[in-house]
Copies of this chain bind each other. A is one copy, B any other.
Amino acid sequence: MQCPIRITCLVCLGLAVWQAQAADVRAQVQEYRLAHESAIVAQLDSLTRLKSIAADSAGILATAHALEDALKQRGFEVSELSTGTGSPPAVFGSLKAPSATRTVLFYAHYDGQPVTPSQWSSDPFEPVMREHALTDHSRDVDWKKASPPFDPEWRLFGRAVSDDKASIAAFLSAFDALSATHTHPSVNIKVLWEGEEEAGSTHLSKALHDNEQRLAADLFLIGDGPVHQTRRPMVYFGARGAMGLEATIYGPVRALHDGHYGNWVPNPAAMAATLIAQMRDENGRITIPGFHDSVRAITPTEQVALKNLPSVEDALKREYGIARSEGGEDLPASLMRPALNIRGIRAGQVGEAAANAIPTNAAISFDFRLVPDQTPAGVRKTVEHFLTAHGWTIVSEEPDLATRLKAPRLIRLVWEGGYPALRSALSTPAAKAVIATASKAAGAPVVVMPMSGGSVPLYMFADVFSAPIICLPIVNHDNNQHAANENLRLQNLWDGIDTYAALMTDLNW
């Protein structure tokens, strides 16, 4: 809606002045970055050299200490959150801004996924700059000898460089840019850099609970994950939950000749197939009664956001070699629904090794993706009720003969912990402010995704804090996160610096 008074309106005048200020800050930050590209890359390079993986506790500690120093040098009050004996420390820093009324907590993690060096094209902890994504033709770049400005398509390769050290480096560089131009943050800043996200954030929940007062904020910004596949900056407002289930279906105690017993001895591989087909239809829709009972409806605002997402389906189908989507829907709508994935299935043998036998058992690895307001306990109850209603006897250990002889359909379930989904409202003042600020920083509207299909344990924050939790990733979608040859595209780092600077100075709600 346009202001009816227009240019003479004081509110509009104030907004125009503020927009002009914001534009100034953006220009100043970009100028700073252009003048300091080598130093900015050097900082990320140094961080990436620190071996902050679970298997290297010295590397983890060294990284935590380096980050604590970095924050202290910038005037932050710094401490380590108690996360249990020997576990990676969570680095906490806070900085009050003069006359600020709001506090924003920036979260990222400094630990990286484990590495299998043999799969990498270069040492995961000796970062290498390359001209572009890794191909047979990609060439190394000696960025230390190159003159800035660097080609923004260059990529720095190393473990954790994008997940999440780029977010940390962008935050620090943005802060430096503001300091250099004497621009004060408009919000009180808190940072929480976790050191065991890739190991399941085992101690995070307790740390949040134990430090509720210290960590309290009006907004939690999560700097994890990649931007949109179109390369456009993105804000996302939640993530699906996850829950794994390993199931074993029992047939005869030993493999039996399927000629002499086929049709008579139950075949566990066929039972597994039937069970899966009863749990989900041909289009991947979960058909377990009651499974969707606690699924929260998608709001009209979220519907609009979903419709506005750039279409990437055709390109993805070509890339992945698929002729159709599973449910006939577009990708964003698909990811708003709970999913029942089959991670694996295994029974008997196939190909050359196949024997004419009825296998002794069939193993299925399930992976549920949850949406609000489903809970792991609720999913478990619904699935187990469904199984019982279909005549299955559920056990949690390898069954003995007596149990086998009593149970016409016998299944062993091993549930993984799992956690619920989170979807923050798109229409809160804080949400609108984050979208507006990130868009201004990007110079174009950011992609607004109501919920990520992949899981992030955002619920841990929601369990303790009522303030909005919003995710603001900066790294390229093709960063090989969790795989070999993880990499960061420089333009994403530059964009990230712009975004973090804007978030520290422009957020207004």
**Residues of A near any B CB (own CB < 8 A):** 239-240, 242, 244, 246, 250-254, 256-267, 269-270, 272-278, 280-282, 284, 317-318, 320-327, 329, 331, 334-335, 337, 339, 341-351, 353-359, 362-365, 367, 369, 401, 404-408, 410, 452-455
Contact = CB atoms under 8 A, between A and B. Distances in A.
Nearest to A330: B264
Nearest to A332: B264
Contacts of A343: 258, 269, 348-350, 354-357, 359
B269 A345 contact: yes
Nearest to A317: B405
A329 B265 CA distance: 10
Given A252-B321, A322-B251, A344-B350, A264 B367 contact: no
A291 to B, nearest CB: 13
B280 A323 contact: no
Contacts of A329: 263-264
B256 A284 contact: no
A312 to B, nearest CB: 11
Given A258-B341, A343-B258, A452-B260, A367 B356 contact: yes
Contact of A341 (B267, B318, B406, B454): B267
8 contacts: A258-B343, A266-B325, A270-B276, A274-B276, A277-B278, A321-B401, A344-B354, A345-B345
Given A350-B343, A354-B244, A354-B365, A284 B258 contact: no
B335 A342 contact: no
B344 A265 contact: no
When A and B form their complex, which 9 residue pairs have the shortest distance between CB atoms, in order from nearest?
Answer: A259-B454, A344-B348, A277-B277, A273-B276, A262-B339, A269-B342, A263-B334, A253-B321, A354-B365
Nearest to A363: B350
A353 B345 CA distance: 12
B454 A242 contact: no
Contacts of A349: 343-344, 346, 365
A321 to B, nearest CB: 4
Nearest to A266: B326
B341 A350 contact: no
B345 A273 contact: yes
A389 to B, nearest CB: 14
Contacts of A354: 244, 246, 343-344, 365, 367
B284 A280 contact: no
Contacts of A342: 267, 269-270, 273, 347-348, 359
Q: Residue among A250, A259, A262, A406 with the most chain B CB within 10 A?
A: A262
A258 B369 contact: yes
A212 B105 CA distance: 91
A322 B266 contact: yes
Nearest to A281: B274
Given A273-B273, A273-B276, A252 B322 contact: yes
Contacts of A355: 343
Given A342-B273, A359-B343, A453 B365 contact: no
Contact of A362 (B246, B263, B345, B369): B345
Contacts of A261: 331, 453
A325 B270 CA distance: 14
B326 A264 contact: yes
Given A252-B321, A321-B405, A345-B346, 13 more contacts: A251-B322, A260-B452, A263-B369, A269-B343, A269-B344, A270-B342, A273-B276, A273-B277, A323-B404, A323-B408, A344-B348, A344-B353, A350-B364
Nearest to A356: B367
A262 B251 CA distance: 30
A124 B335 CA distance: 59
A278 B407 CA distance: 25
A500 to B, nearest CB: 24
A259 B350 contact: no
Nearest to A399: B321
A341 B356 contact: yes
A327 B256 CA distance: 17
A341 B347 CA distance: 12
A320 to B, nearest CB: 4
Nearest to A258: B341
Contacts of A339: 258, 262-263
